Chains A and B, each alone.
Chain A
């Protein structure tokens, strides 16, 4: 492109929204970070042609002019990794939002420069290696208690190894002070508690592992019917207001992961505020500590610059990988991957790339695959088992799952929680549809559940079968009404309602119900299915369905999930006993001999 500027210094020659074209950029690298204009707006090189570079700018470019100077940094976009991440909230390019607030108040101005981690703060570093030790990449040289929940290992960065020449004693250090010196064939290297890692580059691992552990989420429909494994990937698609965010919040609160990374990617500001307000007050059911002590938030809300939205996903997943490398189980939540895909689309359009389906760039499937591939159960470089689980929300236009983002995402995940607008409208929450959802991890994690309850597989299968039969029966009912069905089939309709009201629905706002332990899940399932089995036998022996419907235990069974806490399982057992006695009464009334009733009450 001919230009009016005869300069060799890099300058902008065109500005179109977040895309800036610059010349004088010879020898710049792809994905190198640059600073644009007097304000030093942060940008990233996304295309190089000759000495001309296309830059994606992470901040608003209003009043930026051709001729604006460009400063190169020579390094790709990287995050800071070290103690101080947990409990923090960042924007898409890892600028801490509290720091920005302290600096410029309630509004995010342009050109904010705040360090990602506090460089002044002293952490207690405790060495776990000694002089002379041969260190491999990723091996720990020390640890820091980052929060009472997080034992932060200080590791040799993945690209280094060598013999420890010096290491500090236990004491207080800031993240920039060297805590050790190692020596390899090229010389010596200082190790600090913080290192940087380019966000677009997956951190290395030793090997991938098979998924065998469930990620326990405390959500019944997920854990019991459509479980996700530790290291698994799940998608949660649904139209607006169907419950993607609430479900992800529930998972972020109650999952038995060691670290939670929540990426608010192009969604609402208030939702992040809600997490910030709630998490410090909620306690982890396992440790009794505030949930914020294991949570990291990335907030690039819908009104923040779209280019930073694109990168926020990578910022989050890189931080997750870093904690994984310490041998931890990390769960990443991305709300919403559709907004991220739209950011890709918007940037591609500005770059005048050829669009593929619905304007999305042809690289969309590759980009999605790369993201989900960064999850998994692994052996870390230092030989520890660890995992990154990924749950991505998908927001299909019009709630129609046939659109490109949902369709491509399906190829890279193995667990699909399909949210249903009709269920949500009926306030059936979580509105995960039991017939449209699936989990390929169910097989993988069933040995774990069998250990909790030998009859788990049977319970699960029986309940799912009931729900499927109900769906078929409902087709008939819709045509001719329920009266034509025999009582045995109407019992199925009745019990399916009990399963929905008493098991599948789970309020995120009810003290007793928001988190349901695996034990309680099993107990409730058994309660309902024993009621069904016994009812089936009674009907076979001639008891009319109305009598079973009218039993006083019915509303109690439905309310058991909220009436009893996780520690009151014996009360559910009592309820079951009472229910069975009530049904025994019915049996006596209809002169059913002992023994005709074949159901066991476990």
Chain B
């Protein structure tokens, strides 16, 4: 039997691999190695790369190399098994710092001092120990606050497309997000997977300008980093977020971008392992894998902190039924969908009226949270806007002139809704009152009788009878 073990001062090392394929390295005859154990693969130049064990038997270990297998050769590599799963040192002093995708300093600073090491896979939160998210977060954007309100502890992703302004939008949200009552500031954890340098730059600049840099931690696994590394980046970021939220009691806003890149890395590893691919080649366990990331949001009993999660993903070919947005939507608590058509018509933020949804809105708005009329106003706006969409479809067929007077009024309402309510400036921060008043303004372009969802009492209070309040639409 050939012996591939060498003892060095660093411990047991195995020399050579029987197979290298894609991001995977197979090491034979290993002993005392655990599933998901972290491995250092040392290349011929002596440079170590992190990997982890995906499958372990008494004969061999299948190692996924997180920093890529480029330049590795069967004969010359050495594998050192570190006897533990991947852990991140966590500390509140990591705020204000920039790290790479695996949590190592990338800003030239020293490694953070920390006695706390956390398994990056985290542990599931006991549903019995969760606290239900309730507090309204004002983002200052009418499309979100008025129609798809975000609450503290929610996971609400942004479904975008290439070239759409998801970066500007999420930067605006991070700049403006605040709670109505308390003057607490959010800590920000930012994880970039496979995005380009200029995007990273954009966010750093934004954090700096808004003065949030000291409250932010950034993890970058940029486009030129090995793609498997990305599989750990969101987990590393969330591990720190959990520490900040549940050990230090902070309110943490986590931004993950771009989850589509993450999923592609997952597909790559699956393919290399020869797994049976599911839809569009993504592994069958994509749902569970994404859930293990997205479910790391919320609030728990006994801790004042919270994790609010916004994941950005780009829908390939703007297709919302693509597995990545589809499975994300099945896990998150709603979605903000960006619409190319609105964007091309000059509407920023181009937040699609109908497919966007915040499922926790009902628990964070209304009496005692924002204002009593908020839920009904949103519901009526949605209903009327849905009708606008139908009328527009009809107008395309029979021509606008042929529409009934009422339908024409709906078209006007649609314009007002998009141009006055949805559209706003990148640095315009609207209070929730402004948003609600604006909502009633545009609703009042419709006859009172059309507003079936609103009770008479609320109509008496908010419906603008005199038509002169109705705003002129400027396009």
A residues engaging B (CB < 8 A)?
3-5, 13-17, 21, 60-67, 89, 97-98, 100-101, 105-109, 239-241, 264, 266, 268-270, 272-274, 276-277, 299, 301-304, 306, 339, 342, 345-346, 349, 355, 358-359, 395, 397-400, 425-428, 477-483, 501, 509, 554-555, 558-559, 562-563
Near A by CB (< 8 A), chain B positions 4-63 give: 32-37, 54-59
* Closest A-B pairs by Cβ, 3 of them: A302-B291, A398-B321, A426-B386
Which stretch, B66-74, B261-269, B331-339, touches the partner chain A? B331-339
Q: Tell me, yes or no, whether B362 is within 8 Å of chain A by CB.
A: yes
Given contacts A427-B379, A559-B452, contact A65 B56 (CB under 8 A): yes
A15 — which chain B residues lie within 8 A by C-beta? Answer: 34-35, 55-57
A270 — which chain B residues lie within 8 A by C-beta? Answer: 127, 130, 132-133, 153, 298, 333, 360
- Cβ of A114 to closest chain B Cβ, rounded Å: 11
Partner of B130, one of A269, A306, A399: A269
Q: Tell me, yes or no, whether B126 is within 8 Å of chain A by CB.
A: yes
Closest to A66 in B: B58
Q: Tell me, yes or no, whether B427 is within 8 Å of chain A by CB.
A: no
Given contacts A302-B287, A349-B275, contact A101 B128 (CB under 8 A): yes
| Contact between B129 and A302, CB atoms less than 8 A apart | no
A277 to B54, CA, bound (A): 39
Q: Tell me, yes or no, whether B85 is within 8 Å of chain A by CB.
A: yes
With A4-B59, A89-B127, A266-B288 already in contact, 19 other A-B pairs whose C-beta atoms are closer than 8 Å? A15-B56, A17-B35, A21-B57, A62-B34, A62-B35, A65-B35, A106-B301, A108-B123, A269-B130, A273-B131, A299-B127, A302-B295, A349-B276, A358-B279, A397-B327, A398-B322, A481-B394, A481-B398, A481-B403
A303 to B238, CA, bound (A): 14
A485 to B332, CA, bound (A): 44
Given contacts A89-B127, A481-B397, contact A62 B121 (CB under 8 A): yes
| Contact between A65 and B34, CB atoms less than 8 A apart | yes
Given contacts A270-B132, A301-B127, contact A397 B288 (CB under 8 A): no
B452 — which chain A residues lie within 8 A by C-beta? Answer: 501, 555, 558-559
B33 — which chain A residues lie within 8 A by C-beta? Answer: 65-66
| Contact between B355 and A273, CB atoms less than 8 A apart | no
A578 to B457, CA, bound (A): 21
| Contact between B128 and A355, CB atoms less than 8 A apart | no
A13 — which chain B residues lie within 8 A by C-beta? Answer: 57-58
| Contact between A276 and B128, CB atoms less than 8 A apart | yes
| Contact between A64 and B285, CB atoms less than 8 A apart | no
B431 — which chain A residues lie within 8 A by C-beta? Answer: none
| Contact between B295 and A303, CB atoms less than 8 A apart | yes
| Contact between A302 and B331, CB atoms less than 8 A apart | yes
Given contacts A108-B126, A397-B279, A509-B375, contact A426 B382 (CB under 8 A): yes
Partner of B321, one of A98, A105, A400: A400
Q: Tell me, yes or no, whether B473 is within 8 Å of chain A by CB.
A: no
Partner of B288, one of A65, A107, A108, A302: A302
| Contact between B284 and A342, CB atoms less than 8 A apart | yes
Given contacts A62-B85, A481-B394, contact A105 B129 (CB under 8 A): yes
Listed A/B pairs (17) with beta-carbon separation below 8 Å? A4-B59, A14-B57, A63-B36, A240-B329, A241-B357, A269-B295, A303-B124, A303-B296, A306-B285, A349-B276, A355-B276, A398-B326, A399-B321, A426-B389, A477-B394, A479-B397, A483-B402
Cβ contacts B183-223/A at 8 Å (1 or 0 each): 00000000000000000000000000000000000000000
Given contacts A100-B126, A106-B302, A478-B394, contact A425 B355 (CB under 8 A): yes
Closest to B293 in A: A303
Q: Tell me, yes or no, whether B114 is within 8 Å of chain A by CB.
A: no
Residue of A64, A241, A345, A501 ringed by the most chain B CB atoms within 10 A? A241
Partner of A106, one of B54, B303, B334: B303
Closest to B323 in A: A397
A303 — which chain B residues lie within 8 A by C-beta? Answer: 124-125, 288, 291-292, 295-296
A509 — which chain B residues lie within 8 A by C-beta? Answer: 362, 375
| Contact between A89 and B128, CB atoms less than 8 A apart | yes
A558 — which chain B residues lie within 8 A by C-beta? Answer: 452
A303 to B125, CA, bound (A): 8
A107 to B278, CA, bound (A): 31
B393 — which chain A residues lie within 8 A by C-beta? Answer: 478
Partner of A358, one of B32, B278, B362: B278
Partner of B56, one of A14, A274, A306, A563: A14
A101 — which chain B residues lie within 8 A by C-beta? Answer: 126, 128-129, 301
- Cβ of A495 to closest chain B Cβ, rounded Å: 14
A415 to B276, CA, bound (A): 33
Given contacts A5-B58, A302-B331, contact A342 B246 (CB under 8 A): no
Closest to B378 in A: A427
A276 to B277, CA, bound (A): 37
A266 — which chain B residues lie within 8 A by C-beta? Answer: 287-288, 291
Q: Tell me, yes or no, whether B354 is within 8 Å of chain A by CB.
A: yes
A131 to B132, CA, bound (A): 51
Near A by CB (< 8 A), chain B positions 354-388 give: 354-355, 357, 359-360, 362, 375, 379, 382-383, 386
Residue of A66, A266, A554 ringed by the most chain B CB atoms within 10 A? A66
B335 — which chain A residues lie within 8 A by C-beta? Answer: 241
| Contact between A268 and B57, CB atoms less than 8 A apart | no
B295 — which chain A residues lie within 8 A by C-beta? Answer: 268-269, 301-303
Q: Tell me, yes or no, whether B449 is within 8 Å of chain A by CB.
A: yes
A358 — which chain B residues lie within 8 A by C-beta? Answer: 278-279
Q: Tell me, yes or no, whether B84 is within 8 Å of chain A by CB.
A: yes
Closest to B54 in A: A16
A349 — which chain B residues lie within 8 A by C-beta? Answer: 275-276, 284
A477 to B390, CA, bound (A): 11
A216 to B66, CA, bound (A): 55
Cβ contacts B169-187/A at 8 Å (1 or 0 each): 0000000000000000000
